[in-house]
Structure 1
Amino acid sequence: MSINLAAREGGGAPRAEVQPQAPAPARRQTWLDALRGVAVLAVLFEHLLDPLFPEVRATVSPWFDFGQYGVLVFFLISGYVVPASLERRGSVAGFWINRAFRLYPLWILAAVAGTAFGVVQVYSALPGQLGDHPVTSAVAHLTMLQDVLQVVSVVNVFWTLTYEMVFYLLVTALFVAGRHRVSTAGTLVLAMAAVLVGGVLPAGALSRGLGGEAAVLVATAVLVLGLAAILGGDHRVRLCGAAAVGLLAVVLLGTNSRVGAWESLAIVTTMFAGTALYRLDQGQLGRGLGRWVIGLVPVVCVTAAFWFGPGWTMSEEKALAFRWSWSAAVAGAWLTFAAGRLLRSYALPRFLARLGLISYSVYLLHPLAVQILRRLVWDPAPVPLAWRITWSVVLLAVVVACSALTYRFVEQPAQRLGRRLARATTR
């Protein structure tokens, strides 16, 4: 038996409540798995453009970013399912145990492999920060907040996990404060307002002000102490912990991300829009307000992209291409998610749903396969297109086969252990 955080009806601060039994597991939603399959294929295709399909890079990429499209679909899915998972369980400890055992085991495997690939320079060397400041770089990676701590990821796709972690912190803070249901619309409005001023916020200010290593250590200390307060303190201590991790997330997003404040805030806004979609589907959000707020999110994100442009220096031509490709990715992600919702009661392609099941493995492992490919194919121009298509199919088959193995022998055992430990917190 344990003490869980359960929100009072209609909002307000959470109360301590004895939870005699673990929550029933949620029924898996096949349409979300199919969307995950679409998203991970888009990301993988983006990473094949340079080594295999430079024609597509030259002609399509200025107008559509396949990788950004894929990760935005992932972010909408996370927004849709993550807060629901926390609320269904009712236990912050159980939620974080499940998240840790869901993310970290495979992440550790990919991080070790990525580090080894960098050391032997399969395609490129390790990021300079890992060599110059190995301890603080490793600490930043372990928090999964490295992208808002100005630390380059050892595996390029790790940057998206930073925004997953930031979202978990914000969702946890709202849940502990008892504002997780009644503040969805307000959160979205505030987030959209932040996006509109995000271009004037100073990128990397925290790391410049404190120094890179100090910023990592301070942020890590706040994270650890804040979560410890939430998980182990009395009501007031929990509220202080929630305020600490929530403020940490907002400060890092607004002042210290590697991609710039407006893009970071747009990503988190998109995730909260996914939550609003869930609440709309569950009848927890008024349809008029919900549709108005949700409909405004992609418009605001596109407006911010054209208004502020990329968060790093590039030529005028490339900056314009960024604006168009990012905006098209936003539109594509929203249309894809909307199509998934409309078709959720229909039978969707089984291969997409199965790919969605192993999408986390595909997502983390495919950059390693792409590095090997790039070592083998330095210049794709003289290679016939038929051969390049064949290589892409072979690479996909190898990645899917390896991912099926890691899903079976790494992800599933870790998730089962996580569920057992999480259930133990509710007894």
Structure 2
Amino acid sequence: MKMELSKRAKQLKPSVTLAASAKAKELKAQGLDILSVTLGEPDFPTPENIQQAAIAAIQSGKASFYTPTAGIPELRQAVVSYIERYYGLTYSPKETLITDGAKFALYALFQVILDAQDEVLIPVPYWVSYADQVQLAEGVPVFVQGKEENQFKVTVEQLTACLTAKTKALVLNTPSNPTGMIYTKEELQSIGEWAVEHNILIIADDIYGRLVYGDATFTPIATISEAIRRQTMIINGVSKTYSMTGWRIGFAVGDQKIIEAMTNIASQATSNPTAVSQYAAVEALTGPQDSVEAMRKAFEERLNRLYPLVLEIPGVKCAKPQGAFYLFPNVKETMAICGYDDVTIFTDDLLKEAHVALVTGAGFGAPENIRISYASDWETLEQTVQRIKAFVEKKRQK
């Protein structure tokens, strides 16, 4: 059959993180000793109490049937209680939507707020799917370059320079994927007040909000003032905090009119999130939280051990992350030492020759950087750095 694909399909690029992970798995299946630090996926199994809640839901028969598109009432109420506990904000269940992962919450949100050529401000570096999701909604991603000397964070002055009559929303991801940086309360207040003044919707991607290290503090932008709260849609989920990436449960919280429109999108796209995962997520949000802190401490320990080792790689420059579980080293000088001027070719050769799989910074809008996920066991992380160092020494230009 001869069938022409849509322009939308032709223009859409695969996620660089998922593509890197898939390539690593393919090579592993061929028998190669591949070390993969590609995915932002905790290596811990889902906590036992959450697993047991899922089993109980299956055995009782509750998980056998369709659920309301917006999510089971117990989970929507659990989200309300969670936001009240960790944000100090009060919402109603009608202002919440449960989705198939936080990624689909973002997709549905862009679908309901954007018309053709509407613009969304996206700070750079950015999570790989923001721009493509905006384009799938016929919007225009407008990239605002976060400067490395400012921890990759954007300023109100930069946002103002990119503002047009078509600007509809601003994506704000803190702690950040891929950099791990966190905006301060003062920085968020300036950005929030700017968004209110210009009637720009703030899309607060808070998925890493409970993975914070050292003396750093995560301030949800929605908590700064009532005006900013009304201007903000909160996107979150259970994947990172509770090591539930495979369960695919995210949630959106905010303006009821937007939530209802997103629910309509979901009703036509997915019907409802997986029932058993919803019952598991209720336990995650309302049950004991000690496992969350145990995993957070493990990530922090890995960061503190891995960071100085990464700095020993010739040419590498890297600010220490404050949250999430990524390092985002600048490897411009490292590449020059090895005779490279393209970070994607550099990472491809690391995979082919050193058998180390990581993610090119080009996919995040940062062509001088690479992303290393430390959501992996220590042996893998340590060997990864050793192999990168050996690769650089082997390639070093005399």
Shorter-chain TM range is: under 0.3
Greater per-residue strand proportion: 2
> What TM-score do you get using the length of structure 1 for normalisation?
0.25
- Structure (1/2) with the larger helix percentage: 1
| Larger relative contact order, structure 1 or 2 (CA cutoff 8 Å, min sep 6) | 1
